[in-house]
């Protein structure tokens, strides 16, 4: 058995784990990252594309923003197309100047992996049989196998950054967890292509035929989505079939500009809303997708992971820099306040932009649910207050600060 020791053990080297590891490292807080797959495998996963201001600022604080600031596309707004009419959501104008950054999650992960290598902090890829132990003691540990060797990692705290299918959430006793879940009756079929985007900004579409999203990764690489039934299989969708269906769903002018080409990635993502409460147990903290999942309609998944990371990083910095443990018990409640706002917005926007069974895609049975939703969307888009409601959430609500530290209060009293 190989014994290792660190301050913070991080399970998962997706954006949550890598960002937390880098931020802690810059505070001189040593940490170890474990992942069950290789870095190459992680970099093949095509996921998010839109960063809130909060995420971008966190990457700058982590010292890994050079490429993001050079290559990321600042977006001042986006469009929602409904009933053949496009309405622009003027993010900058409606939120006092705030914008979003279009920069792929793969690029962020690249930047974070490069920083991890440069930091020299230990990272164990292809770690198997990861198990968490003694979470309610002050000496938790993780056992795992790596390169055929049995290892035990002794630590002070464990950050479960291991995604929806990870081991961390399951390590909280079921009787102590409350899980909120809503599975949607459709998935998103996504295509990545080296073709120019149809517009400078994103276009979300609610068409008679269903949902479509025209996004991008750069001026020469596009990311498109259409919603498909849960029974759909990706190999049933040829590129031609995808382009033809996307063209039917985009507003006419955008459809006319559509440049098609071979897909370089094509996959179907299921959609769910999910939250685990609480997000901490003893010395274990759940971060990102390990604790919550949103339908990607509001571009919140990665961005909620970022606010969890920011909260945990600041709490642990207080522990090790100021020997102030007062905020440790507050992580879950602080993280969950912002998580639930992101969950509600993502559910709300998904409901507005997709056809649900109770509405029926082509039913003529006078189903009022469909008319209520169409009327709500029409009203929101036609009202500055409605567009501001969408804009404020899309750019991201502010991150909650920690309560004033004991050190700061003592300094203020002494002054
Ligand atoms: P991740 O799932 O990214 O990373 C978890 C890591 O933990 C993985 O590398 C995994 O290998 C590792 N792991 C799991 N179990 C382990 C174990 N037992 N031991 C060790 N390691 C383990 N968000 C958006 O904002 N916009 C989008 O368009 C969007 N599209 C998405 C499409 C798909 C198919 C998916 C699954 C998610 C999408 N998301 C999107 C959300 C996504 O971006 C997540 O929010 C983001 O990856 C969260 O990052 P992490 O919390 O690091 O979890
Ligand atoms: C993406 O570019 O992948 C993307 C953008 C916005 C979303 C979802 C996905 O809401």
Task: Give the per-residue pLDDT at 394.
Answer: 98
Q: How far is the CA of 193 from the centre of ligand 2 (A)?
A: 14
Q: How far is the CA of 37 from the centre of ligand 2 (A)?
A: 25
Q: Which residues line ligand 1 (CB under 6 A)?
A: 11-17, 34-37, 42, 47-49, 105, 127, 130, 161-163, 165-167, 269, 288-289, 296, 299-303, 305
> In percent, how much of the chain has pLDDT > 90?
91
* Ligand with the closest atom to the CA of 269: 1
Q: Are 158 and 283 in contact (CB under 8 A)?
A: yes
- pLDDT tens-place string over residues 12-61: 999 999 999 999 999 999 999 999 999 999 999 888 999 999 999 999 99
Contacts of 236 (CB under 8 A, 6+ apart): none
* Ligand with the closest atom to the CA of 18: 1
| Closest approach atom of ligand 1 to CA 269 | 34
The protein residue whose alpha carbon is closest to atom 34 in ligand 1 is 269
The protein residue whose alpha carbon is closest to atom 16 in ligand 1 is 166
Instruction: Using most ligand atoms within 8 A of CB, pick from 100, 213, 301, 352 the residue to mutate for ligand 2.
Output: 213
> Which is higher by pLDDT, 238 or 412?
238
Task: Give the per-residue pLDDT at 361.
Answer: 54
Of 58, 175, 152, 158, which Cα lies nearest the Cα of 111?
A: 58
| Strand-by-strand arrangement of the 123-124 sheet | 123-124, 31-34, 8-11, 157-160, 284-286, 280-281
Mean pLDDT of 102-117: 97
| Strand-by-strand arrangement of the 141-146 sheet | 2-5, 149-154, 141-146, 128-133
Task: Give the per-residue pLDDT at 368.
Answer: 84
Location of structure tokens 């604790």? 291
- pLDDT tens-place string over residues 184-218: 999 999 999 999 999 999 999 999 999 999 999 99
Task: Give the per-residue pLDDT at 358.
Answer: 56
For residue 405, is pLDDT > 90? no
Ranges assigned E (strand) in 230-283: 263-277, 280-281
Return the active site residues.
Answer: 75, 204, 296, 300, 394
CATH numbers and ranges of domains, the chain: 2-76+100-181+272-350 (3.50.50.60), 185-271+365-392 (3.30.9.10)
- pLDDT tens-place string over residues 287-310: 999 999 999 999 999 999 999 999
- pLDDT tens-place string over residues 350-380: 999 999 865 555 555 677 888 999 999 999 9
pTM recorded for the entire structure: 0.96
Q: How far is the CA of 325 from the centre of ligand 1 (A)?
A: 29
Mean pLDDT of 72-91: 96
Q: How far is the CA of 298 from the centre of ligand 1 (A)?
A: 16
């Amino acid at each position: 058995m190989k014994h290792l020791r660190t301050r913070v053990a991080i399970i998962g080297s997706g954006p949550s784990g890598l960002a937390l590891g880098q931020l802690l490292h810059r505070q001189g807080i040593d940490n170890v990252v474990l992942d069950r797959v290789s870095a190459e495998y992680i970099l093949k996963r095509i996921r998010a594309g839109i960063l809130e201001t909060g995420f971008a600022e966190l990457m700058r604080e982590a010292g890994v923003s050079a490429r993001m600031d050079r290559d990321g596309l600042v977006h001042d707004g986006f469009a929602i197309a409904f009933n053949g009419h496009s309405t622009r959501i003027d993010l900058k104008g409606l939120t006092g100047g705030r914008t979003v950054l279009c920069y792929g999650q793969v690029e962020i992960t690249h930047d974070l992996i490069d920083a991890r290598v440069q930091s020299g902090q230990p990272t164990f890829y292809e770690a198997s049989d990861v198990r968490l132990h003694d979470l309610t003691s002050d000496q938790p540990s993780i056992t795992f196998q790596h390169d055929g060797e049995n290892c035990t990692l002794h630590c002070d705290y464990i950050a479960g950054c291991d995604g929806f299918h990870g081991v961390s959430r399951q390590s909280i006793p079921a009787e102590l967890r409350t899980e909120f879940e809503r599975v949607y009756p459709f998935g998103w079929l996504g295509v990545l292509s080296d073709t120019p985007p149809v517009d400078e900004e994103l276009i979300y579409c609610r068409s008679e035929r269903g949902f479509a999203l025209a996004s991008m990764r750069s001026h020469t690489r596009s990311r498109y989505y259409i919603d498909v039934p849960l029974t759909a299989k990706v190999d049933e969708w040829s590129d031609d079939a995808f382009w033809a269906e996307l063209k039917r769903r985009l507003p006419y002018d955008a459809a006319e500009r559509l440049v098609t080409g071979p897909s370089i990635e094509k996959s179907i993502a299921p959609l769910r809303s999910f939250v685990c409460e609480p997000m901490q147990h003893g010395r274990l903290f759940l971060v990102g997708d390990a604790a919550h999942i949103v339908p990607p309609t509001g571009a919140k998944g990665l961005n909620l992971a970022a606010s969890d990371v920011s909260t945990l990083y600041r709490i642990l910095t207080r522990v090790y820099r100021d020997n102030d443990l007062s905020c440790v018990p507050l992580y879950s409640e602080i993280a969950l306040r912002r998580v639930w706002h992101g969950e509600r917005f993502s559910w709300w926007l998904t409901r507005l932009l997709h056809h649900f069974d109770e509405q029926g895609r082509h039913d003529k049975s006078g189903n009022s649910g469909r008319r209520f939703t169409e009327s709500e969307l029409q009203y929101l888009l036609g009202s500055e207050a409605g567009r501001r409601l969408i804009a404020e959430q899309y750019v991201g609500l502010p991150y909650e600060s920690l309560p004033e530290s004991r050190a700061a209060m003592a300094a203020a009293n002494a002054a």
